[in-house]
């Protein structure tokens, strides 16, 4: 059966999905997807997976996709980051039987994407993107889709979208922010860019950005004409967003923890979700925030959540009639609601200081200059553990890349590979690599020499009959009288 394309793919395979949960690294795992589907989500994406790692590491495939197969978890789109057409297609071929489409991440704006050369940092390389999507469109049995960020110019964004469509993209998600708009500098997403793309292409378009409530979804569809709306942060703070509800936080937390019992995931994912759900309450109960950060078990996380519930219920019981939420919140802190990320100035005011060291996450690449006196909280902790640690990037050793996988190669490797790739090649070719301490050739030669030097079992051996045989008894001299 030929694979469906464009609107046919959206109508039939994706069942005309309007409400979409975004691909989120370590946050859109199976348990969270199932919770979101129970509360209105019609389509979910996996977390972003690294195509190169997916190809070479069977455990990575198992942990991130193969063990997460669940009939309730459809329709599902698997997202990859990649910068090589062959690698992208190899990964997609390994994943296509477990999903309804393969998505190429062209929207990640984080520093890790810049260092790895993927995500939004490929958006100027149109020839490469055209080759990647064209090859995937030809080779895969499921459609290929893309998630992009916009350029400052609407015209360039439209040409970019049309190029992806022409290459074989069957559905396009447009995040209405540029790659520079992140962290404290996120700002408002441009629906004008999204609207222009929607009018210019002949494939389904999803919008991403500015979604806090269900009426934002409806407004976005009305203003831009898109076929669906994707939510990331809005969904994390309120998984019932697509139902148009603002439930009690502990209801969502307890339901999520029940699903995790059935579909386990790393504890770090669970902890991160609870931090989002209880975000506003944890600003008040700082001690429980610290406990949530330290607990080492799922039961420990559940205990902290139960304690937060009890404290909220006590506060509700003592609440005066007509009392309004504090801190400018639209609802009381124990109700699921959006979190508006403060800008740089607002973040400084919240902390009562303009000191960069007290700010939240820094967004600009040039702020990673560790030669300054300002370090992130994580780096400050590392500095406490190791006072001699230096974060100046100019002092870090520059590693040459492995010719095969891109990891740092061994400086003395005879094959110019990392240890893992070197070991495979040296074993395959029965060769030595002194740089990595791999001596397959030497050991093989020694083994052959030892075997050729062994006396034959048929050869008569002259020996002293009085010498004790291994595991036996010495021969008795003379006759028995």
Residues forming the active site:
108
Rg (CA), the chain: 30
Residues 99 and 14: their CA atoms lie apart, in Å, by: 11
E-assigned strand segments in 62-175: 76-81, 101-106, 144-149, 172-175
Cα end-to-end span (Å), the chain: 94
C-beta of residue 207 within 8 angstroms of C-beta of residue 196: no
| DSSP character string of 147-204 | EEE--SSHHHHHHHHHHHHHHT---EEEESS-TT--GGG-----HHHHHHHHHH-SS-
- Cβ count within 10 A of residue 73: 17
E-assigned strand segments in 281-428: none
Strand, coil or helix: what is 472?
coil
- Tokens 């967003």 belong to 241
Six-digit token string for 424: 């495979």
Burial 22-58, CB ≥16 within 10 A → b, else e: bbbeebbbbbbbbbbbebbbbbbbbbbbbbbbbbbee
Strand, coil or helix: what is 241?
helix
CA 146 vs CA 105, 117, 126: distances in Å: 6, 17, 13
C-beta of residue 108 within 8 angstroms of C-beta of residue 120: yes
Residues 452 and 358: their CA atoms lie apart, in Å, by: 72
Six-digit token string for 236: 């994390």
Residues 309 and 228: their CA atoms lie apart, in Å, by: 34
C-beta of residue 252 within 8 angstroms of C-beta of residue 277: yes
C-beta of residue 418 within 8 angstroms of C-beta of residue 438: no
């Amino acid at each position: 059966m030929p694979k469906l394309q464009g609107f046919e793919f959206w109508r039939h395979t994706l069942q005309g999905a309007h409400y979409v949960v975004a691909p989120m690294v370590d946050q859109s795992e199976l348990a969270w997807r199932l919770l979101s589907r129970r509360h209105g989500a019609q389509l979910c994406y996996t977390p972003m997976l690294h195509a190169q790692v997916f190809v070479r590491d069977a455990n990575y495939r198992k942990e991130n996709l193969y063990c997460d197969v669940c009939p309730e978890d459809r329709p599902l789109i698997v997202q990859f980051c990649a910068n090589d057409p062959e690698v992208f297609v190899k990964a997609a071929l390994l994943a296509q039987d477990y999903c309804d489409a393969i998505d190429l991440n062209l929207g990640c704006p984080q520093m890790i994407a810049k260092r790895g050369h993927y995500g939004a940092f490929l958006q100027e390389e149109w020839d490469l993107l055209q080759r990647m999507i064209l090859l995937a469109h030809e080779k895969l049995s499921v459609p290929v889709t893309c998630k992009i960020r916009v350029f400052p110019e609407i015209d360039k964004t439209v040409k970019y979208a049309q190029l992806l469509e022409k290459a074989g993209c069957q559905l396009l998600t447009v995040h209405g922010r540029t790659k520079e708009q992140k962290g404290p500098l996120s700002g408002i997403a441009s629906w004008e860019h999204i609207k222009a793309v929607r009018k210019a292409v002949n494939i389904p378009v999803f919008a991403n950005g500015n979604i806090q409530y269900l009426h934002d979804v409806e407004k976005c569809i009305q203003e831009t004409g898109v076929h669906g709306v994707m939510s990331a942060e809005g969904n994390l703070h309120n998984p019932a967003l697509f139902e148009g509800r603002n439930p009690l936080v502990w209801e969502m937390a307890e339901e999520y923890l029940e699903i995790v019992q059935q579909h386990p995931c790393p504890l770090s994912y669970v902890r991160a979700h609870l931090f989002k759900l209880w975000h506003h309450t944890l600003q008040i109960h700082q001690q429980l925030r610290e406990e949530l950060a330290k607990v080492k078990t799922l039961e420990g996380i559940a205990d902290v959540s139960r304690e937060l519930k009890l404290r909220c219920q006590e506060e509700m019981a003592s609440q005066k009639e007509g009392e309004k939420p504090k801190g400018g919140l639209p609802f009381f802190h124990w109700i699921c609601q959006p979190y508006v990320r403060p800008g740089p100035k607002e973040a400084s005011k919240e902390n009562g200081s303009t000191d960069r060291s007290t700010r939240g996450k820094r967004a600009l690449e040039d702020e990673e200059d560790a030669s300054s006196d300002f370090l992130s909280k994580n780096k400050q902790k590392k500095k406490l553990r190791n006072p001699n640690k230096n974060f100046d990037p100019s002092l870090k050793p520059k590693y040459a890349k492995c010719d095969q996988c891109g990891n740092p190669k061994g400086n003395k490797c005879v094959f110019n590979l990392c240890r893992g790739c070197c070991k495979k090649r040296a074993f395959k070719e029965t060769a030595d690599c002194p740089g990595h301490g791999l001596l397959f050739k030497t050991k093989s030669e020694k083994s052959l020499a030892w075997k050729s030097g062994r006396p034959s079992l048929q050869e008569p051996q002259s020996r002293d009959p009085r010498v004790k045989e291994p595991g036996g008894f010495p021969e008795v001299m003379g006759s028995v009288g």
